[in-house]
Structure 1
């Protein structure tokens, strides 16, 4: 269960998608010289994934603020706010899952780095209950994660670099998927670039950048010349979210455009040189300096925070289906089956799997999270025991019998209860351990001993070593089976 973002076509005219769920787990690096089409690529990705996942964009030039109208992003002009207010905005973005464009236009480099560091830190330090999946796009990433000393104070450089490193190295566990774009790989910190698993390399001319791009794409040095020959808007892609082998992508069209555009040739004025000189110098002696118009009054921080809080209601995701309870329950059951079937899920905590659950539900068309974290933990325990539905009806009596148990032992109890109800053989220690989320058989035996010590279960072992378990409160008993 996933969502494919159509990025364009390859050389044969075949569509090349990016797997959004895989992208959330593996991060993306986009590189290309000025004019290669990086911003166009990012805009295509953002437009095609809008409504599927929260999007947070750090925009040094203010080009992506045009997403605010048709796609419901909240545009924040950082120049009007303090560092503490920007940090508060970031926390509210995570809490309300609002898609935001943080425009740094109008700030000097030092101000941009200070603001980006505060905003990224606010996203990173959000409470655990707000660790929802989000794409965090950082354009011109070499500004915020320089490979060498920048023309700013060492304190600000370290703060910005640390925030970017946290985003790319540790952000995945917090639901933050970093997407960074840069003009020069040589100017970008290697620790930041190395954390990306997906790469989109555009036209590059400098030998040092071509060599690094070729290394990241797994190409030989002699093949690096192909990167110099790429057309504008064409990228070489590699990574688990795109392709296991380098593939050339011609990026498709976009619906919005940047506020700035590429320069085009226009006819020069045809006035004679003498007349032009007169136009340029006439009246200069009498002209007084004009005071610049006052800047527009920025919106108060409280008003902008309120706007972020209601962004999702004001701009609902497109084509949301009606929330039919039967459909939602069917999606929950399907998603829980997929999570339990994933072999890697057995070793993950409920908090981590809850983020996976949210992403899968959105991919299936359920945009609002249908379960709270505690309700999800209960459903996960039941699913690991092979029970995917009917907890409030068919299994309500069993749940009541387990009221005195800690939440993490509910799955092991339900595993035994299901076997006892259906007259199946008693679960082995290995099955109990798997349901409990561990590989330790000793821990599984301690769980069973804990429940037996509270008279929730009664274990009987016959002379041949076969074990059967009775649940006194329900009057159910499993068939005898070897505990090993």
Structure 2
């Protein structure tokens, strides 16, 4: 394995031979006796690592040392809540991913990261805490749900892990905590078989969920002040409780390490230097400037009476697209009342048909993933261009037409009595599952094979087959559809409320017409 450009192998890692195996060791720093303290990368990929230390103990410095030393040898994925590790991109080949984007984008990027084996830093600093948890969960799920062919080895570093796997609920919503905790448990418990080796760092063990911390076999414990955290650290390292006091005395940048990838007995390690700098600022002493009597009088002087007070006036918020369209409609009605009254109003069936035609054209032209709000604005613009009379349709109506269009329902099929039955039954299905139900109902109505997992993923706006299967299981549990498997593994979907069923279809078949690739861009 080649060292990084411009670096000797000794600076980036050293090969170790013994016991019939070859491993690569990177140098963390120096042990108490002065010998080099190393960590076995091959063993680390199989056994995971937990880092703990109070704020200012040097956790981020330690993680940066591990990342820099191992960068030439293994793919790295960093979940960075504070933007501290984006500087890795300046010297190494890490790609910085701003998490302030759509869920579909995050899921798609995660899949590409696993496929192309690039090192990335997921920068969460521009999101508030609940959104940080949700974005990290989506990204980790995307890594976890990658196809088996892309299960390459990778280090997944999660800084401030107590935020993403908290022991108890805090200021964030229960939903955000649940999805984030599930993703972290998957990473630490099931990630090894998928090549994902978790490295998690936390300020306090007492705040970290036990089922996440318990999966680590390697430990690096830094300075800790609270009794409960010292006791847990001592237990994890197999030390007696009376020895736990040593964690209070550890200097900044020193850690006690233990584990199959580090050492068989607890060893104190002084972490070595790093090449890149954190964007975080360590407080330094700065004496205040000398003040004269004149300076004091100037600071305490009242504001000049004659000085005009400048008040910054913020411009009014920009009107929404819906407000603009409504204003245009009112202006047209006032300017040409006779012409408007002469325009024949459409019946409900004709209006539905015209709107479905517009949505059908939008779906046919769709070449990438766009947010629902942007699609709705595009729909409103097309309605105005085609001079659709009456009030503009609402978002709920548009959402139903869009789901039908993505399922392949034509405006002519939507006007049939059979599809009206589907619409009636779909009203009893939860809104987040309606699109998948419509997809299967349309296939059954046409007598086509059962849609594949990729077809379902496309309807859900994701590339994750795991999420698609989860939606199917929810529909199956509710009885909206009943899934059956043939002896050869094909799938048949029965729709009891409609009395229909699909033909047998392969769940692993590719998406129809490359829909998933079109959606993911």
TM bucket, shorter chain? 0.5 to 0.7
Counterparts of 1:437-448 in structure 2, within 5 Å, are: none
* 1:104-130 deviations in Å (ceiling 9; x for gaps): 002111010000000000000000000
CA distance in 2, matches of 1:252, 1:47: 11
How many equivalent residue pairs? 293
CA distance in 2, matches of 1:118, 1:201: 29
Note the C-alpha offset of 1:287.
Answer: 3.3
Q: SS in structure 1 opposite 2:130? A: helix
CA distance in 2, matches of 1:285, 1:142: 51
- In the alignment, what sits opposite 1:101? 121
- In the alignment, what sits opposite 1:174? 194
User: Cα–Cα, structure 1 residues 277 and 11, in superposed 2: closer, same or farther, change >3 Å?
Assistant: same
Counterparts of 1:324-403 in structure 2, within 5 Å, are: none
Note the C-alpha offset of 1:288.
Answer: 3.1
Q: SS in structure 2 opposite 1:259? A: coil
Structure number with the bigger relative contact order (C-alpha 8 A, sep ≥ 6) is 1
Q: SS in structure 1 opposite 2:85? A: helix
Note the C-alpha offset of 1:150.
Answer: 2.3
User: Cα–Cα, structure 1 residues 278 and 45, in superposed 2: closer, same or farther, change >3 Å?
Assistant: farther
CA distance in 1, matches of 2:175, 2:39: 37
CA distance in 1, matches of 2:303, 2:27: 52
- 96, 113, 123: which one aligns with 2:133: 113
Given the alignment of the two structures, is residue 239 of structure 1 paired with residue 259 of structure 2, yes or no?
Answer: yes
User: Cα–Cα, structure 1 residues 259 and 289, in superposed 2: closer, same or farther, change >3 Å?
Assistant: farther
- In the alignment, what sits opposite 1:77? 98
Note the C-alpha offset of 1:260.
Answer: 1.6
* 1:247-283 deviations in Å (ceiling 9; x for gaps): 0000000000111220111121333333223499999
Given the alignment of the two structures, is residue 2 of structure 1 paired with residue 23 of structure 2, yes or no?
Answer: yes
User: Cα–Cα, structure 1 residues 234 and 274, in superposed 2: closer, same or farther, change >3 Å?
Assistant: same
CA distance in 1, matches of 2:286, 2:212: 41
- 197, 201, 219: which one aligns with 2:221: 201
Given the alignment of the two structures, is residue 58 of structure 1 paired with residue 79 of structure 2, yes or no?
Answer: yes
Note the C-alpha offset of 1:76.
Answer: 1.1
Q: SS in structure 2 opposite 1:151? A: coil
CA distance in 2, matches of 1:233, 1:240: 22
- In the alignment, what sits opposite 2:42? 21
* 1:174-198 deviations in Å (ceiling 9; x for gaps): 0000000000100000000000000
CA distance in 1, matches of 2:31, 2:167: 33
Given the alignment of the two structures, is residue 260 of structure 1 paired with residue 280 of structure 2, yes or no?
Answer: yes
* 1:43-101 deviations in Å (ceiling 9; x for gaps): 0000000110000000000010000021010001212x112211111111000001000
* 1:361-405 deviations in Å (ceiling 9; x for gaps): xxxxxxxxxxxxxxxxxxxxxxxxxxxxxxxxxxxxxxxxxxxxx
Note the C-alpha offset of 1:26.
Answer: 0.2
Q: SS in structure 2 opposite 1:62? A: coil
Query: 152-161 or 191-200, which moves further after superposition?
Result: 152-161
- In the alignment, what sits opposite 2:52? 31
- In the alignment, what sits opposite 2:468? none
Q: SS in structure 1 opposite 2:133? A: helix
- In the alignment, what sits opposite 2:239? 219
CA distance in 1, matches of 2:128, 2:261: 35
* 1:325-381 deviations in Å (ceiling 9; x for gaps): xxxxxxxxxxxxxxxxxxxxxxxxxxxxxxxxxxxxxxxxxxxxxxxxxxxxxxxxx
CA distance in 2, matches of 1:282, 1:227: 60
User: Cα–Cα, structure 1 residues 288 and 137, in superposed 2: closer, same or farther, change >3 Å?
Assistant: same
User: Cα–Cα, structure 1 residues 282 and 36, in superposed 2: closer, same or farther, change >3 Å?
Assistant: farther
Runs of 4+ residues deviating >4 angstroms: 278-285
Note the C-alpha offset of 1:289.
Answer: 3.3
CA distance in 2, matches of 1:222, 1:114: 41
Given the alignment of the two structures, is residue 49 of structure 1 paired with residue 70 of structure 2, yes or no?
Answer: yes
CA distance in 2, matches of 1:137, 1:71: 16
- In the alignment, what sits opposite 1:287? 310
Given the alignment of the two structures, is residue 40 of structure 1 paired with residue 73 of structure 2, yes or no?
Answer: no
- 134, 137, 149: which one aligns with 2:169: 149
CA distance in 2, matches of 1:172, 1:283: 72
The Cα RMSD (Å) is 2.0
- In the alignment, what sits opposite 1:164? 184
User: Cα–Cα, structure 1 residues 174 and 291, in superposed 2: closer, same or farther, change >3 Å?
Assistant: farther
CA distance in 1, matches of 2:34, 2:309: 63
Q: SS in structure 1 opposite 2:43? A: helix
CA distance in 2, matches of 1:241, 1:6: 12
User: Cα–Cα, structure 1 residues 177 and 281, in superposed 2: closer, same or farther, change >3 Å?
Assistant: farther
CA distance in 1, matches of 2:153, 2:107: 19
User: Cα–Cα, structure 1 residues 43 and 274, in superposed 2: closer, same or farther, change >3 Å?
Assistant: same
User: Cα–Cα, structure 1 residues 96 and 286, in superposed 2: closer, same or farther, change >3 Å?
Assistant: same
User: Cα–Cα, structure 1 residues 250 and 284, in superposed 2: closer, same or farther, change >3 Å?
Assistant: farther
CA distance in 2, matches of 1:284, 1:125: 64
Q: SS in structure 1 opposite 2:51? A: strand
